[in-house]
Amino acid sequence: MAKTRMDYSDFEELTAVRRTNGVLLVTLNRPESLNAFTEALVLELMELWHRVDRDSDTKVVVVTGAGKAFSVGGDIDLLDTFTDDIDGSIASSRNFAKILRQLMDLDKPVITAVNGDLLGGGLGMALSSDVLYMSDQARILAGAQLNLSVLSGPEVYLWPILTSPMKAKLHLFRADTLDAQTAENIGLVSAVIPHADLMDEVLSLADELAARDPMTLTWTKRACNHLLERARPALDTWLALEGFMFSRDEAKAGLKWMRKTIKDD
């Protein structure tokens, strides 16, 4: 098979830089909005994983966020459009589902470096990676969309498998804020790293994996993802339901509350 070297210089909402050993460092690059997902960022992520899949020079991917957060999920301006556009809401959810599937289907290992707070779609993407290292200063807001009276499709898909149904329901019902150590204790996080050492530790692991046999890593990943693969048909159902729920009056009130909270902060 002919080798294909991909270029990543044209992205605007993220950056992707390949190191000489085949480690691709991807940074969500909207720090002014805590790396919230816009339609543009979602489309760029879809294109990113498409290119990585074909890139013979990339062996391992590291994903992190610029600034003080990893990602706070959907941008509030985007979420506001969902309240009057159910078709658009469901279409956006389907695109996000493609990102999760692309991550799980990718033959190359993906390591997430959670440098700061994460919730919603940011949390879903992080949990769909293969290894998740989390700063000891970062936090997870579980079930954040519950505060908007909206189901969070990726979380109800991933949490019961990665933790347990009992742990998942407890934290998602309460929309808990989990510190890094609690997240590790219940199985959401591979390891908690002192904040100042996070990227050094992540890149060290990436360098180690880049030197290993790619086929062995691929099939180890696929074997470990067996339970996630079996549950994947449910993902579309949860995300479609999430899209419909944004049209409810309760969700509109929740978004107004969210806007006021952001403004007050």
Model pLDDT, residue 44:
97
The total number of structural domains in the chain stands at 1
Average pLDDT for 151-158: 89
Model pLDDT, residue 217:
97
CATH code of the domain containing 19: 3.90.226.10
Q: How far apart are CA 5 and CA 236, in angstroms?
A: 33
- Of 257, 202, 247, residue with least CA distance to 64: 202
Q: How far apart are CA 109 and CA 229, in angstroms?
A: 16
Q: What H or E segment, with its residue span, contains residue 112?
A: strand 110-114
Domain enclosing residue 152, as ranges:
14-197+213-264
- Of 143, 106, 142, 101, residue with least CA distance to 125: 101
pTM of this prediction?
Answer: 0.93
Q: Given pLDDT bands bounded at 50, 70 and 90, which one contains residue 36?
A: very high
Model pLDDT, residue 265:
62
Instruction: State the alpha helices, DSSP H only, in the chain.
Output: 39-54, 76-82, 86-105, 120-127, 153-162, 165-174, 180-185, 198-210, 214-224, 226-231, 233-245, 249-264
Tokens linked to 180: 């890094």
Task: Indicate whether 148 pLDDT > 90.
Answer: no
Model pLDDT, residue 1:
46
**4 lies in a domain?**
no
**9 lies in a domain?**
no
**208 lies in a domain?**
no
Average pLDDT for the chain: 92
**190 lies in a domain?**
yes
Task: Indicate whether 214 pLDDT > 50.
Answer: yes
Q: How far apart are CA 203 and CA 209, in angstroms?
A: 10
**183 lies in a domain?**
yes
